Structure 1
Amino acid sequence: MGVVNVPGYNFLPMTRKTQYSMEEIRLIARVVEDPNVIVVPADSRFNNLPDVIAALRSKPGSVTFGHNGAGTNGHLAIRMLAAAAKVEPNEISYRGTAAQRTDLLGGHLDVGMVSLSEIPELHGSNKGPLRVIAILSKKRFASLPDVPTAEEAGFPVTSTAEHGFAVPKGVPDEIVRKLEAGIAEGLRNPEYLAGSPGDVPVIAFMPGADWQKRLDDMSAALRPYPEEMKANEQK
């Protein structure tokens, strides 16, 4: 049994030869849905996502947009947003969210693209040194109820980091069903929830068969981006 991290799990085989094939793997259950959020310094001139897009339409490349490396969920989210809004941000690649945070707070980066769980101080509040202006999920999150989705802001883009469990394809159905049920029960366990309060906002159980359908749709949406990224690297 292993842990699967999306979108890397389904995106990497599109960009290179991998040591695994998705056809050889059976998903048991998703346990986490961790959407991308767009963050700015608290004193940023950008009040919302339309402000960012307007600035980029007025002057392409005028807004620096951070992500955690080529092919990461944050990078893919920026590319999808750029395509939906027909803009071209000035992308800055970082080695992690901590580096993005430092540059945001230091005034060296205009906008950051990170995952919700990476800024736990914002859960339940949007009053700190960083401010979330949009969340790239289908619906608003309870931990940030006043933050609109990108779709609500006029840009129908969703992007999440998702984590769950998988087994080799040949594992019998009976065992898969028991594992799925056990994972679901564990995620409802009050002791676990009390001991991991930082995880609670992003816990999102989904049965393996449903998760596979979701990944199939996600993969279809991501297929244009490997060629686009390759073309950008060659420029």
Structure 2
Amino acid sequence: MKKSKLAMGAIIVVAGMAISSGVWAAWPNDKPIEIVVGFAPGGGTDTMTRTLSRFLEKKLGNEARIVVINKPGAGGELAATYVARSKPDGYTLGMVNVPGFIFMPMYRETTYQPEDLSLIARLVDDPSLIIAKKGSSVPADLSSIIKRLSEAPGSLSFGHAGDGTTGHIALLQLEKLKKIKSTPIPFKGAGEGKMSLMGQHIDYAIITQSEAPDLESPTSEFIGIALASKKRKLKSTPTTLDEGINIFTSSERGIGGPKGLPGDINAKLQTAIAEVMQDPEYLQAAKNDVPVLSFMPGKEWEDHLSKSRKELEPFIPLIKKK
């Protein structure tokens, strides 16, 4: 009887292992992979994710399917928490937006910690950009903006993608450096900020370079005020360095998954992403992102973000004051 029970137990264990192995081996073909975006549709992160997903499906295999899920709110916290609490089976991934992803837990209590996610790969390093509506009566250069805010604190409003995000940090940097005060307006994504700017409900929007692809067009609804970069990447828009102001902020975007994501799945995703970013068809489809593409493997990106945390520490008291 005991031998019979032991034999039956062994059969159950082996069968369980076989089933588990079979399910595992099916990745990524047995159900859709979700990539969660923490901002509203229409912004740079959303657009980039949807373009990338089409090509990533091909690299992962003919049966791989990817769906993009938008979970906007709290500067990306809702999406990060959703991914962190998901099963680490490769079917739930998330777009990681830095600095918000690492900065928010530094100045307030959040429902996730950066360590709750396994980073897979960085995709872009996208500098911040201040834009205004073409034809608006607001100051059209950074020096004039600073002068106006020095004379009338809070008299100009700046839309950004949420507290602790790149645009907000750029604004905090400007205020600290020039000892001025603006009126920041948080949105759930760059798309909402641009729409509000179109309706002239705000004076400026702080987005990223890739989120304003039409600035060089004569028919553009927007004009560039300043790009927070050391290098000029838009012919018609000066950099902050051109304006004599040392403000350099950038949005790094990449893909991560829940902590405990199996190493082989992480490696397969990383390889596929690297291949996509070398694909001529992808580069044509994602031409607005091409100037800011900056691939970095997950482990290297984690090490890089450890240094970024130290650079963000001076802004903790500033954001707590608001």
TM bucket normalised to smaller: 0.7 to 0.9
Deviation at 1:26, TM superposition (A): 5.1
| 1:128 aligns to 2:220 (yes or no) | yes
- Please give the residue correspondences for 1:132-151 in structure 2 after superposition, counting only pairs within 5 Å: 132-141=224-233, 144-151=234-241
Deviation at 1:127, TM superposition (A): 5.6
Question: 1:105–1:177: structure 2 CA closer, same or farther, 3 Å change rule?
Answer: closer
Q: Secondary structure at the match of 2:277?
A: helix
The residue that corresponds to 2:127 in the other structure is 35
Alignment deviations for residues 65-102 of structure 1 (CA, whole Å, 9 cap, x no partner) = 22232222222221122112221112223344344334
The residue that corresponds to 1:194 in the other structure is 284
- Return the TM-score normalized by structure 2: 0.61
Question: 1:32–1:81: structure 2 CA closer, same or farther, 3 Å change rule?
Answer: same
Deviation at 1:188, TM superposition (A): 0.9
The residue that corresponds to 2:113 in the other structure is 20
CA distance in 1, matches of 2:193, 2:277: 31
Q: Which amino acid aligns with 2:243?
A: A
Q: Which runs of 5+ in 1 are unaligned?
A: none
Question: 1:27–1:99: structure 2 CA closer, same or farther, 3 Å change rule?
Answer: closer
Calculate the aligned-residue CA RMSD, in Å. 2.8
The residue that corresponds to 1:9 in the other structure is 101
Deviation at 1:210, TM superposition (A): 4.2
8 Å Cα contact 1:32/1:163 also seen in 2: yes
CA distance in 1, matches of 2:226, 2:104: 26
Question: 1:145–1:27: structure 2 CA closer, same or farther, 3 Å change rule?
Answer: farther
CA distance in 2, matches of 1:113, 1:166: 25
Question: 1:130–1:188: structure 2 CA closer, same or farther, 3 Å change rule?
Answer: same
Alignment deviations for residues 34-93 of structure 1 (CA, whole Å, 9 cap, x no partner) = 222100122244231111111112222222222232222222221122112221112223
Deviation at 1:185, TM superposition (A): 2.6
| 1:82 aligns to 2:172 (yes or no) | no
Larger relative contact order (C-alpha < 8 A, sep ≥ 6)? 1
- Please give the residue correspondences for 1:27-106 in structure 2 after superposition, counting only pairs within 5 Å: 27-44=119-136, 45-106=138-199
CA distance in 2, matches of 1:11, 1:198: 27
8 Å Cα contact 1:30/1:205 also seen in 2: yes
Q: Which amino acid aligns with 1:88?
A: K
Deviation at 1:176, TM superposition (A): 6.3
The residue that corresponds to 1:206 in the other structure is 296
Q: Which runs of 5+ in 2 are unaligned?
A: 1-89
Q: Secondary structure at the match of 2:200?
A: coil
Work out the percentage of aligned pairs sharing the same amino acid.
Answer: 36
Q: Which amino acid aligns with 1:156?
A: N
Bigger CA radius of gyration: 2
8 Å Cα contact 1:126/1:132 also seen in 2: no
Q: Which amino acid aligns with 1:30?
A: R
Deviation at 1:130, TM superposition (A): 0.8
Deviation at 1:146, TM superposition (A): 3.5
8 Å Cα contact 1:61/1:88 also seen in 2: yes
CA distance in 2, matches of 1:25, 1:100: 28
Q: Secondary structure at the match of 1:188?
A: coil
CA distance in 2, matches of 1:210, 1:138: 23
Please identify, of 196-205 and 150-159, the stretch whose mean Cα deviation from structure 2 is larger.
196-205
Q: Which amino acid aligns with 1:63?
A: L
Question: 1:52–1:203: structure 2 CA closer, same or farther, 3 Å change rule?
Answer: same
Alignment deviations for residues 108-166 of structure 1 (CA, whole Å, 9 cap, x no partner) = 322211122322322x447622101111233222xx13422213312212222211234
Question: 1:53–1:210: structure 2 CA closer, same or farther, 3 Å change rule?
Answer: farther
